[in-house]
Amino acid sequence: MSSALGTIVSAIVPILLILTAGFLLNRIRGIDPGPLNTLSLFVLTPALVIHSIALTDLETGALVKITVGVGAFLAGVLAVSWLYGVLTGKEGAVLNGFLLVTAFGNAGALGIPLADFAYGDVGRQVAVLFAAVHGALVFTLGLFIALGSGDDGGDVVTKRVFRYPLVYAVALTVLARVGGVVPEAGSPLMETLGLVGEASIPVMLLVLGVQLSETEYYGALSMTVIPTLFRFVVSPLVGLAVALTLGFQEPVVGRVFVLLTAMPAAVAPVIFVGEVAGDTTVGGVTLPEFVSATVFVTTLASIPLLGVVITLLQTGVLI
């Protein structure tokens, strides 16, 4: 248990350090996150998505089953989140922001090293694939959700989604893999994509730090309780149901799958809402402030909670 917590802390400390850098820089100099949002959406994250999907090396069978599982998992969490949101009177951009922080988790930066520690090579391979598929959906479906509002019709939102290169990055990379025309990992193109894509995570975290420095903490933090419960209770329960339904041949694959559904809120939604709903308010704070606070709180809460999840999964009682 202590080793598991040590791994979680070692994965989270770099995240917190980068957040702090963005937080302090904005307090000292004053930073406009708008250009950083644009840079991330149009250059950095497309490169990350292409590089991750193109170089995933698990076999096709596992790729298909985990891809289906991630899609089913997100559909389930979104359905539960949407139902709760509607029943509690959320609508428009506020409902969309709630869906973003409850459905999408940090499966890459935190999930991959954690799965590697807990389950070795198999855990790392499953986590890389899960993160690639999940990331592709974050930057397509998640972007679609972020762009939606109570005033726009579905066709308008769809057109807005297709203005961003993320959708094309995912589609072209999948086609390249199916067609067997993905360049070698060491080729100049893939090296460039990897270098540019790696910059996306620290940039998103810096933007999150800037947002946190402008957050009205009292009002925002009080609103993170329900999203936190969704991330660490509802989400892994849905993930467990999906894993049991799919019936992974190797139990360890199913356990890694469930673990990755219990990650803290993803960072990308901070970029999305900052780009498209910066002035929307909910409960006296802006939507970016709410999303930023939720990412921050769930990341801190994950230190003890993921230790519990790993312990339960390793007993073999759940799956």
Residue range 240-265, pLDDT digits in tens: 999 999 888 788 889 999 999 999 99
CB count, 10 Å around CB of 158? 14
Nearest CA-CA partner of 282 in 271, 266, 293, 268: 293
pLDDT tops 60 at residue 110: yes
Rounded Cα distance between 137 and 104, Å, is 9
Residue range 2-313 in CATH 1.20.1530.20? yes
- The 10s digit of each residue's pLDDT in 49-88 is 788 778 766 565 666 788 899 999 999 999 999 999 999 9
Cβ atoms of 52 and 236 within 8 Å: the answer is: no
**Distance in angstroms (rounded) separating the CA atoms of residues 271 and 58:** 30
Q: What is the pTM for the complete model shown?
A: 0.79
Count of alpha carbons within 13 Å of 19, Cβ hemisphere only?
19
Could you state, in order of their start, the residue ranges of all structural domains in the chain?
2-313
d(CA 286, CA 302): 24
Residue 282 bridge partners (DSSP):
285
Measured in Å, how far apart are the chain's first and last C-alpha atoms? 19
